[in-house]
Amino acid sequence: MSDFFYKILKKLRQAYLVSNYYRTKFQNCLHINCNNKELYDKNILDIVTVSFNNEYVISYQIKLLKRNILDPYFYTIIDNSVDSKKQKKILKLCKRFNIGYIRAPINPYTNNFPSASHGSTLNWIYKNYLKPRKANFFGVIDHDIFPIRSTRIISPLKKQYIYGHLQERKEIWYLWAGFCFFNFNFIKDKKINFMPNDIADTGCQNYYSIFTNIKKEEIYFPKHKYHKLREGNIPQSDMVEYIGDWMHTFNASGWKVIKNKNKKNQLVKNLLDKYLKKSKNNL
């Protein structure tokens, strides 16, 4: 078979897998402690986390959300993991803490395009879960971002429709898909598309349908800074970043190979334990 026909068949197969992925319904996926019916009380913050092969960050996120989110909220894990042992551990955590859990359909991008895997999962969860529930306020967060101080999300969403971490790439701006929140009444008639493109990463295509309708200079974005976990010339994936009242620890999915991974994980755990203790003392 020539390279040309092989490439054509590969593209057709990928298109078929993508089509099947998006046709998969919520009811056909394993789920516990949640449903996609319209909410009776919509005045909540519907929070969804995409998890990937890492149960320890989910454990910390569950606890820190419970300690520090002052708004009424509902929290759901959409599990995009490919490791069945990790899936079982994350499911066990959700059962233990009575957290919503949805096993995502098998993703056609996972092994070759991590950003598209993340973006397609967010598109699927919005269409099949968040949008039908019609909570007044909703957001998606990465599994390795944590509220480290008492914080509110609904208040800014009542004033400006969107809230999250600003990303700017060339001529576009958007909210990072790992920390973005929306007022549903503003979003409900607009096209949601969290897929990356040639310009920027996951979430950037929302610029064309959502953010072009907003004046960026009128939006409050939480302050942002990086913090080194250890000294030396280290990459971004070996740092943490602070976004307002939240801390993002990077690379919990293992998308980037870093030196002394176990050492970094221990430093992250130590830091999270410190904030968990602080939150407990402030109750």
Q: 58 near 143, Cβ under 8 Å? A: yes
Q: Tell me if 42 is assigned to some domain.
A: yes
Q: Tell me if 262 is assigned to some domain.
A: no
| Domain of residue 123, CATH code | 3.90.550
Q: Tell me if 19 is assigned to some domain.
A: no
Q: Tell me if 200 is assigned to some domain.
A: yes
Q: Sign of the CA dihedral 71, 273, 202, 219?
A: positive
Res 283: pLDDT: 46
Residues 6+ apart with CB under 8 A from 241: 224, 225, 226, 227, 247, 248, 250
Cα gap 139→180, rounded to integer Å: 6
Res 141: pLDDT: 96
- Residue 114 structural domain: 25-221
Res 5: pLDDT: 54
Q: Tell me if 201 is assigned to some domain.
A: yes
Place of tokens 């008639």: 189
Q: pLDDT, tens digit, for every residue of 249-274?
A: 876 655 554 556 667 778 888 889 99
Q: pLDDT, tens digit, for every residue of 49-72?
A: 999 888 989 999 999 999 999 999
Tally the domains of the chain: 1
What are the residue ranges in the chain where pLDDT is below 50? Answer: 257, 283
Q: Tell me if 145 is assigned to some domain.
A: yes
Q: Tell me if 116 is assigned to some domain.
A: yes
Three-state secondary structure call for residue 1: coil
Residues 6+ apart with CB under 8 A from 29: 102, 103, 104, 105
Cα gap 50→194, rounded to integer Å: 13
Q: Tell me if 261 is assigned to some domain.
A: no
